[in-house]
Structure 1
Amino acid sequence: MAGLVTDELNKFGPFGRYNGVLKVVVNGSHDFSSGSLGAAAFIVSGSSLAGRVNCAAGGAIEVGPLSTGVVYEMGVASAVSDNATTSILVLRR
């Protein structure tokens, strides 16, 4: 497996379920459907959550009622943070 941060890590492969943060979306939006493939989960954090995650297979999830610090495993097409206190960390496999 190529693409890890050192040659030593490439020899042994990825060690966890998620091996990178594609993007931290704060007070804006980001599209993961073309150039940032592999968005496989997300975590929300912040004091006043507002925004949504659009799922790769369709549909959207409002982040307001979600729990902070929980890994939500689903394909992410795009993420929208509606304020400066909402962070959406999009993870890749």
Structure 2
Amino acid sequence: MDTSTPSPGRTPHRTAPEGSPLRRILTGTAALLAVVGLLCLGAVVLSGLRGESVWPGFAAGAIYLLPAAFVLMAGLIIDGIRRRRRG
């Protein structure tokens, strides 16, 4: 086996650490909530610019989904920091 150090300018091949399935699901959920919340916010803004009344579902989506996605992402970031410090 070759144990020599790689030449300058060349990095060794590293694979990403495998995350738990729950972490991947939570990451996907946070991303989906953020995208849907932004779409709802865009619909609210466009309806307001056109002078139309806004469907309450779009307003509720923007009000609840964006903060939920933010809190979920913040929790994932804090968990990632804790994992790195431990491991």
Larger radius of gyration: 2
When normalised by structure 1's length, the TM-score is 0.22
Q: Which has the higher contact order (CA 8 A, sep 6+)?
A: 1
Instruction: Say which structure is richer in helix.
Output: 2
- Larger fraction in strand: 1
TM-score, structure 2 normalization: 0.22
